[in-house]
Structure formats: structure tokens, C-alpha cells
Amino acid sequence: MRRGVPIRFRERFFPLGTVVQVESNDEAVVTASRQSFGSYGAPPPTEEPEFLIQICVDADQHDDAPPPIPCYRSLKHIFHIACNDRNFAAADLASGCAVGFVTPEIAGNTAFFRYTFLECLFHVLVVHRSHTPVHCSGVAFNDYGVLICGTAGAGKSSLAYACAKSGMQILTDDVAHLRIDPASKRLLLWGNPWCLRLLPNAVQLFPELADEKVTLRREHDWYLEIDTSRRFPGSPLASCQPVGLVFLEREDGAVPRLSPMRPEKALERLCQDIVLDEEVVIARHYSVLEQLVGIGTYTLKYSGGPSTAVEAIKSLLQKELRR
């Protein structure tokens, strides 16, 4: 049962503006947590953890094969991850607590372990409790941000990288989390700006990335993991105020141009990504997304490389600065 496994390592983190405590019997779990959550800074010393993630390493179990494909299931307030009978975790959404066991090999595969277990468990807990996710990349300037949405392959992350090259700040490459700030009542964006993941063929667009390591994130998905703090010193920004929402549309021969998009159409597209949850949670997501589309939604048609669309994104941010 491993019920008496000694928990010797504990550390608190502050991802997305929330306090989470990670516990384990193995220092590798806390070390991986620092990579996932440590860049957000230390949590306020007086605040109690909102979430607890306890993952133990079972030294008696081993994986000789490549990382197994994870399976995700949810029933009412219980969320479950299973790779096999040796690597699994469960989260109680009602209490904000998650527990699990992994083998030393999975814990040592830091990229896979972080994405499949640590970050997945945290995001499931925080989305249920307080935040609303939007599948997008995001860039910012002077604490104002633009979210870049689009179908797979539209060039969201590549455009974010091109924007960073032009002097803008990275907010996120894959998902932004929105929350109504309890103190100011303003809508805030939260992201993970320290790592930008691009497909390996991005080297064709950005030759300077040829020296970046290709990393297996999950199953057969290989990515260039760009350390944005190293590549663009001072660029990462964890939180900002949204001023625009852009939906990318590739079209051969199109001159990059922003066109207003009806808020109700944008809301319909965003709501497609809301996962099944309790009615009160879904209602909160819908209310937050309604507020988001009210700030200004656009389509951006473009052709060629992502660099051609940079000026259109920059124009939205400059518009806000001129107010």
C-alpha cells in the first residue's frame, strides 16, 4: 500500500498567483516542481496553500520501456491520471488535493513528468477552483497583453516568438489562464512565459534556433523548448491586463490585416474548449470569457511566415498605450 512512505521534502510555490505545496519522499519531485513553478516567485509567507500535490517515488517499481501513454479520466470531483499500474495520480477537485506514485525512471524524465503529472494536476485543480483557460499564445508590452488564438498549425507559438524578436514580451505559448483579480476586480491574464515550445521545423523560419535541443514532451510529440529568459532577457511576463483577442487565419496571398470580429462569435469559439465540470464552474468560465471578448476581438488573416503578422499584433498594443 505504501501508506507509511516518509514525506521528507516539501516546498511552496506561487504559480498563476496561487499557493501550492508540493510534497514527496524524493527530492527529484520537488526539483522538477521548481522548474515548473519556481519562476513565479515565492508565495506570500502568511498565505496558506490552496492546493496540495503529493507525489511519491516507488523505488521498488521500474520502467524499462519508453514513457507510457497517459490516460485521463474524471468522475464527479475525482480526476485520475494513469500511465500504467506503476505511474498514476488522482486529484480531489473539491479539496484541492492530489496524490500519486511514479517510478524513479518517470521522475527522472523531467520533461515528461512535469507535463504529465505536476503541471497537469495543478492546472486541473486551479481551473476547477478559480481560473479559466484559453488555448492560445500570448504577448505583451508595458503590462498589456494580446491573446493569439487559432486552430492547430495556425502559427500561434511561432508568431509569439516573432513578436518577442521584435521587442514584445512573451506571456505564454500554449494556454493563458484568466482570473478576476479578487482585489482590483479586473480581468487578469496569467501565463507560463519562461518556456516557448516550437515544432522542430521552426528552424526553417528561425535559423538561430538550430542549436536548441529537441525534447519529447508527451507520447510522440517532439518540441524545441526555448528558454525565453536566455533568448530574450527581460522578456517573460507572468501576468498582465488583456487588451485584445486575435484569431489567426492563414490565407494564401493575404496581406496581414486585422478585422473586427463579433464578440458573440468569438465567445462561441472560446466556449468550445470549456471542459465538462460542475454547473457553477462552467458558469464562471462563461462569465469570464464574456468579459474577455468585450475588450475587443479580431481576425488576422496572413500568409507566409509569422513575421509578416507582427506589426498587426503590435498595433493593438500601441493603440492601448496611446489611450
Residue 320 pLDDT greater than 70, yes or no: no
What's the pLDDT at 114? 94
Distance CA 173, CA 160 (A): 7
What's the pLDDT at 173? 87
pLDDT band at 50 (very low <50, low <70, confident <90, very high): very high
Q: Look up residue 312 and give its three cell numbers.
A: 498587426
What's the pLDDT at 150? 86
Residue 256 pLDDT greater than 90, yes or no: no
CA dihedral defined by 152, 237, 285, 37, rounded to 10 degrees?
A: 90
47 burial (CB, 10 Å; 0-12 / 13-18 / 19+) is exposed
Residue 40 pLDDT greater than 60, yes or no: yes
Residue 139 pLDDT greater than 90, yes or no: yes
- Paired sense of beta strands 175-180 and 132-135, if any: antiparallel
What b/e string do you get for 110-142 counting C-beta neighbours within 10 Å, with b at 16 or more? bbbbbbbbbbbbbbbbbbbbbbbbbbbbbbbbe
What's the pLDDT at 214? 82
- Paired sense of beta strands 195-198 and 221-227, if any: antiparallel
What CATH number was assigned to the domain covering residues 132-321? 3.40.50.300
Q: Domain residue spans in the chain?
A: 9-129, 132-321
Which conformational region is residue 280 in: left (phi greater than 0), alpha (psi within -120 to 50 degrees), or beta? alpha
pTM of the model: 0.90
* More reliable by pLDDT, 75 or 323: 75
Arithmetic mean of pLDDT over the chain: 90
Listed residue (162, 320, 322, 319) closest to 248, CA to CA: 162
Non-local (6+) Cβ contacts of 266 within 8 A are 245, 247, 293, 297
pLDDT band at 4 (very low <50, low <70, confident <90, very high): confident
What's the pLDDT at 265? 95
Would you tell me the crossing angle of helices 119-129 and 27-37 to the nearest 10 degrees?
60
Residue ranges in 81-134 assigned as alpha helix (H) = 104-108, 110-113, 119-129
What's the pLDDT at 192? 92
